[in-house]
Chains A and B, each alone.
Chain A
């Protein structure tokens, strides 16, 4: 027990975490490529055409997993922020900082693909529906966290201040999720449900699941790459980092 604890806490030092991240990246990247290739193949070639929406529905294989990831990554970022504040562990803050841009990217992707789905289906690029609006607010929140971090010169303070902001913003994620029930609007209710009988064909569901897994692995790979850059940047005075950079 004590031994496993010792190996776990070892990675709270940037120097130990840097090579671990390096070793994990190829695995996550490989899995991401396999999942995305399989998901896109099933989604675009195997899954049947929808009887009401035609082929335009196929954007959901990107849209829905991107929307899931945008919310999930915010929670993960806030989780790292909480760990950082609670344990005062520097790599946790670095992970939170590394996840933010990927989360913002997926939020943008969800909004962008949503617009492309909305035009043929609803006849409008954008409607001021609760879920769309909440997703837009999520994008603002990612921007807020990143900009607050960038505006504070003292890194220790920047880490902790943006961590507090990320945790405050987490209140918004359940509001996004339940907004469909709170406000009665245009956006269709959740099509995927764990309790009710599935309304979608099994192939569509599996394609969506595989795509979500692929996005998840992609996020892990990219966040780890980014955290390695952040570590090297912050530890540039340390001798091991200078060797790593080849300086």
Chain B
């Protein structure tokens, strides 16, 4: 019996998940439009004053990105859990944490990357310009993978649980907070002229910390769920 190598398996999982997401475009577009709509509500709710908008922009855009990530977390494991694919994945003789990382990467490509790109457009609407706009996109580029990684733990823990959608928000949002603080802090400090290096470094550190640990915890949670 020939056995597929780890890299081939990882590539197959990423390709399959991205392909499945694009076959159901409504799901992908819902999370992206959610991000745009939530961000658009704030000028209407708070004030259209450019000075105010520039001040609240980092926090608003980051919170919108965070909520949009939360909304799409159900996609990472739920369908595979329901049709038994996840169980088969646990049986594959490769480390489950690596396979989970592949699924998380696919989730980020589908729901994180569009937000990074769109943030440039929304940033302009909020009166950010030049360096601040670049730092916003960079902070989201570093931060959204960390959100997907941390979120996958909550998604795996609530598989098949009553009221899982609401529960995952409660479990995951407290863990998102450091990423939010560093991410929006990077943009705010650029706007106020302090420089974003410290916050971007901490954001990078959060990503580097989440990269090995989160898939490991999520894999443990997946095992608990399918047993």
Contacts and interface: CB of A to CB of B under 8 A. Distances in A.
Interface of A: 85, 133, 137, 140-141, 143-144, 147-148, 151-153, 157, 160-161, 164-165, 167-169, 171-172, 175, 183
B167 A151 contact: yes
* Prevailing SS type, chain A contact patch: helix
Contact of B157 (A140, A161, A183): A161
* Prevailing SS type, chain B contact patch: helix
Interface residues of B, number: 24
Closest 6 CB pairs of A and B: A140-B174, A144-B171, A160-B224, A137-B174, A151-B161, A161-B157
A164 B221 contact: yes
B220 interface: yes
Interface of B: 153, 157-158, 161-164, 167, 170-171, 173-175, 177-178, 181, 209, 213, 217, 220-221, 224-225, 227
A26 to B, nearest CB: 37
A152 B220 CA distance: 16
B161 A152 contact: yes
A90 B173 CA distance: 29
Contacts of A144: 170-171, 174
Contacts of A140: 170, 173-174
A152 B227 CA distance: 14
B97 to A, nearest CB: 13
Query: Which of B174, B177, B213 is most buried by chain A, counting CB atoms within 10 A of its CB?
Result: B174
A140 to B, nearest CB: 4
A85 B224 CA distance: 11
A164 B224 contact: yes
B221 A161 contact: yes
17 contacts: A140-B170, A140-B173, A144-B170, A144-B171, A144-B174, A147-B167, A148-B161, A151-B161, A161-B221, A161-B225, A165-B153, A165-B171, A168-B153, A169-B174, A169-B175, A171-B213, A175-B178
A157 B217 CA distance: 15
